[in-house]
Structure 1
Amino acid sequence: MDVWLWILVLGVAAWAAHWGADQLLTPLKMLRKQWGLTASAGAAFLAIVTASPEVAVNVTSAARGVSDIGLGNLLGSNIISIPLMVTIAYFASRKRFKNNEKHQKHLDKNILVLNKRSISVLSLPYLGIIALVALLTLPKAWRGLQPVDGWIMLAAYAVFLAHAIIKGRKKGKNVEWDKKQIWLSVAGALAIAVGAFFIVKATENIVSTLNISEIVGGLFITGIMTTAPEIFKTWSVVKGGEVTAGTTSVIADNAVTMTVAFFPLALVTTPIEDFQLFWANLAFVGLMPLLYSLFVHQSKELHGFSRWQIFVFDAAYIVYLLIMVFFVLKLF
């Protein structure tokens, strides 16, 4: 098949996987209301579904013997997602919300407002997860992803989720379950599985045709494609007035990717072939939530991100691309 046809397959498969995730999202949203979870705690809970395309891609890549695609997807999606979603959320929030005078202050001061609780509930625990990944994979004696590492990371996600729920509980509400939505959820699960298979299959063929390594394909093809559909979800949630929920969900998604999506790659034992490429990418995976935490903590009366801080996020990703092109991959 022509490379352009595989690119088309990749795009359709990514859309199908995220459509499936959207169908699974409604039942979990209902559970969130029933259990009385706050926006930050709810984001950690809902991430089980919103990050499911990345998890499914890594399961498929491990099963097909191309775990480097999954490793690249794990790193690449976690680097681009925070600057991309924060930028999208900022522009989506530049509108007036009805009966919300407080939001007018955010507009006047050009701030993307966030609940400061998101630092303790989401971003700091996520930084802890990244530190744990570094500890398990960077030392020479432990280098690579091994089965024991996978079990440790699954336990880390259980702790992350429990911490988020305990820190963010309030009184629950009664909800009514819809049979139609349950069937749509089943269809969604199938769409995720089929979409993930074709994302990996398309990436395999594209990297083969372009003669690039699987991990690079995972970083810049699979990782970007699995993240891109989230743009529409973030835009729609923030534009609907749920600014904190729409912006913080990316942290929860990344936590799932670095733990649950880590597991299948570790289970089949994924070696680190290019150590410089791995540690450089892992460093930027950690830099993004570090900036997130520092900026929110630094903010005073109105917690969140100012315009110049949004620019720093985007500049950090551009610096990452330049380092990859000129110093790590040495394409020029």
Structure 2
Amino acid sequence: MSYILLIIGFLILIKGADVFVVGSSSIAKTLKVPTLIIGLTIVAFGTSAPEAAVSITAALKGSNDMAIANVVGSNIFNFLCVLGVVAIINPIKVQKSTIIKEFPFAVLATIVLSILSHDIKFQGYTQNALTRADGLMLLTLFGIFMYYLVEMAITSKEEMEIDQADESIPMSKSILMSIFGIIGIIVGGQFVVDSASNIALAWGMSENLVGLTIVSIGTSLPEFVTSIVAARKGESDIAIGNVVGSNLFNILFVLGISSFISNIQVHSIVFVDMMIMIIITILTYIFAGTKQRINKKEGILLVIMYILYMTFIIIRK
């Protein structure tokens, strides 16, 4: 029964995220918000809504390992698998602004998360945890990132062309779609956390392993689908903006809210995955900064690295 609920939960999560993105994007376009900002905010945050639902639900239920492993696993999946597959389909062109501002901010966020988690090493505490104060710091950084996006929207003189076909959705319908999408995401998130926890216990697996594999991949499917569709349409900015924006949202907002709700104890094994996440973020940044593109060979390398990482954590347990 747990397996059926897990699949149902994932389906509700993905459909809820899809409906939420469509509805929210329609609202933004009706209000004449530049599509560049839509890609960095609504699309990125909407596709990260499943991660938010799972991690916040896990925090409320005291499943701390699931809360943090889901975010770390999702971010690794996004950079290695999502960008890797997208680059294989169609080499990703990266804007200069993304290389100068957004990618460095993503690297900073991963490093800050690691530092805040090392309470024993840096603050002399008896255990490592993301506390309410750490959550406030992450949310503050999230506020700074949002301020940057708003400022960019106001000062930008180059607004991307808005697809008139998308504006055919009435505002009332768009609002309803957004509301039902959020409800679906919350319900799906509860199903995933409960069923994944039961499966972990039945198989003798740790919540950390389940969060890094089954849950993180499942909650990252919206990013995966959205980015592949964008790549097929030649919208590489949306593809990479979706991934970078989603990863920032996962660390700063999702873990910020989760740790503010309930202290998240961080076990030593998670630091290995955090270090891998930092290395992968920097490596992807280097790939993107080289001739402002991620080519097919680099995409293949990223996918191979994800396969090796999955093998590593399964063997490690």
Instruction: Bin the TM-score by the shorter chain.
Output: 0.7 to 0.9
C-alpha distance in structure 2 between counterparts of 1:83 and 1:43, whole Å: 20
* 1:3-18 mapped onto 2 (5 Å cutoff): 3-18=2-17
Per-residue Cα deviation, 1:54-76 (whole angstroms, up to 9, x for no partner): 11111111122222211111111
Per-residue Cα deviation, 1:99-137 (whole angstroms, up to 9, x for no partner): xxxxxxxxxxxx432223211232110111111111111
Segments of structure 1 that go 5 or more residues without pairing to the other structure are 94-110
Per-residue Cα deviation, 1:5-52 (whole angstroms, up to 9, x for no partner): 244334323333423433443246427x72436x3x543322232211
2:286 matches 1:294:
yes
Q: CA deviation at 1:245?
A: 1.1
Segments of structure 2 that go 5 or more residues without pairing to the other structure are none
Aligned CA RMSD, in angstroms, stands at 2.4
**1:317 partner SS:** helix
* 1:51-70 mapped onto 2 (5 Å cutoff): 51-70=48-67
2:220 matches 1:227:
yes
CA contact (8 A) 1:44 1:252 kept: yes
* 1:266-281 mapped onto 2 (5 Å cutoff): 266-267=259-260, 268-272=262-266, 274-275=267-268, 277-281=269-273
C-alpha distance in structure 2 between counterparts of 1:286 and 1:324, whole Å: 16
Look up the equivalent residue of 1:59 and give its one-letter code: I
Look up the match of 1:315.
304
Q: What is the TM-score with the length of structure 1 in the denominator?
A: 0.82
Look up the equivalent residue of 1:36 and give its one-letter code: P
C-alpha distance in structure 1 between counterparts of 2:61 and 2:33, whole Å: 38
Q: Considering fraction of residues, name the structure with more helix.
A: 2
2:242 matches 1:249:
yes
C-alpha distance in structure 1 between counterparts of 2:231 and 2:296, whole Å: 17
Q: Which structure would you say has the larger RCO, counting Cα contacts within 8 Å and 6 or more residues apart?
A: 2
Look up the equivalent residue of 1:157 and give its one-letter code: F
Look up the match of 1:117.
97
The alpha-carbon distance between structure 1 residues 223 and 13, as it changes in their structure 2 partners (threshold 3 A), is: same
Per-residue Cα deviation, 1:171-222 (whole angstroms, up to 9, x for no partner): 4699966222221112112111111111112212211221211121111111
CA contact (8 A) 2:23 2:173 kept: no
Look up the match of 1:80.
77
The count of corresponding residues between Structure 1 and Structure 2 is: 302
C-alpha distance in structure 1 between counterparts of 2:3 and 2:53, whole Å: 24
Q: CA deviation at 1:278?
A: 0.9
The alpha-carbon distance between structure 1 residues 295 and 165, as it changes in their structure 2 partners (threshold 3 A), is: farther
CA contact (8 A) 2:79 2:281 kept: yes
2:171 matches 1:178:
yes
Q: What is the TM-score with the length of structure 2 in the denominator?
A: 0.86
C-alpha distance in structure 1 between counterparts of 2:21 and 2:41, whole Å: 14
